[in-house]
Amino acid sequence: MDREHVKGAADKAKGAIKEGAGKLSGDKDMETEGKLDKAKGSTHNAAGDMKDAVRDAADAIKK
């Protein structure tokens, strides 16, 4: 697991907490922040997946 995947997991967890807290308290701004954090986490995960794919392709070429 590289740094992008770790950032993604952390942002998704933080977003889920904020979104849940926003729903419970009726705070639409906090709920929206949570959704944005979760989307940011997904973006970090996608970037990590791309890095993994490039690394795997480079390793395959070396063999």
Question: What are the residue ranges spanned by the domains of the chain?
Answer: 3-62
- The whole-number pLDDT of residue 25 equals 97
| Higher-pLDDT residue of 1, 23 | 23
- The whole-number pLDDT of residue 24 equals 97
- The whole-number pLDDT of residue 63 equals 74
31, 51, 55 from 44: Cα distances, Å: 20, 11, 16
pLDDT at residue 1 greater than cutoff 90: no
- The whole-number pLDDT of residue 7 equals 93
pLDDT, tens only, 6-40: 999 999 999 999 999 999 999 999 999 999 999 99
Sign of CA dihedral 40, 33, 7, 10: negative
Q: How far apart, in Å, do the first and last CA atoms of the chain sit? A: 23
